[in-house]
Structure 1
Amino acid sequence: MQRFFVLAILILLGWLTYRLSPILSPFLIAGILAYLGNPLVTRLQRHRIGRTWGTTLVFVLVILILAGIIMALLPVIRHQSLLFIEYLQKYVTLLQTQIIPQLSTRIGIPLDSQSITHYATANAQKLAGWLGRSL
């Protein structure tokens, strides 16, 4: 009976954490940043820089580093996105000209590109919504 009670509490805590994750995630990120930045702030404090100014300097440094990383990766992401769109167009053409007709003759169900496009668009919107909520 005690195992069941512990298991029920763990399941309840897991469910509660899942439901509160949009609220708790900023606190988790802040805690991680504070944990990682504390040694540097402590070192700055030894050099007679106050804790408030040390924390400010550490956060500005982290923001500058992240901005530099993002600026360095933007051209690569743009190039990869353009390649992805190019390959996607080729795959759509291949799908419409070869794969759909072969699949239609093999399974005996008439498949037209319009109904497949509608189905793919509906699912793409669901996927985009899920990705938006996740991010």
Structure 2
Amino acid sequence: MRKDLSLNNPINSANAIISPVVKQRIRLVEVMANAGLLLLIALQVKMNIFSLRKVNKRLKETETRLQECGQLKRNEKFRENCQQFNLTSREQEIAFLVYTGVTYKEIAKQLFIAERTVSKHVQHIFDKMSVSNKAKFIYKISA
């Protein structure tokens, strides 16, 4: 003997009884619940992004401060080495520009002097420091 599954199954019998309007309202409630959940997720993501931006900003500020400290230490060491080698203030100025990678032509423009004058200053710096090229100069001035 075969039983009718649609009558004994409570879900099938409930579906048969529920009107289309009620089904539509149930779907609407489900959609609204899903939309609410998506809204909550979106708000949480927004809060996380805001928090991460704050952390990123603090990290950048800290990195900048650390770089400034490192730069100050390098500048202090540079000045100490310039004094150790008895460089004049003009020679120190030119030595710093050479150390930072500025070309002789650019140094001449910045200081309103001839490029030949820059070369002479650099030669005097090299003589005082007992070096023969920029690489040795940079190594010795930064040591």
> Do Structure 1 and Structure 2 share a fold, with TM-score over 0.5?
no
Structure ranking higher on relative contact order (CA contacts 8 Å, 6+ apart): 2
Calculate the TM-score normalised by the size of structure 2. Answer: 0.31
Structure number with the higher helix fraction is: 1
Calculate the TM-score normalised by the size of structure 1. Answer: 0.32
Bigger Rg, which one:
2
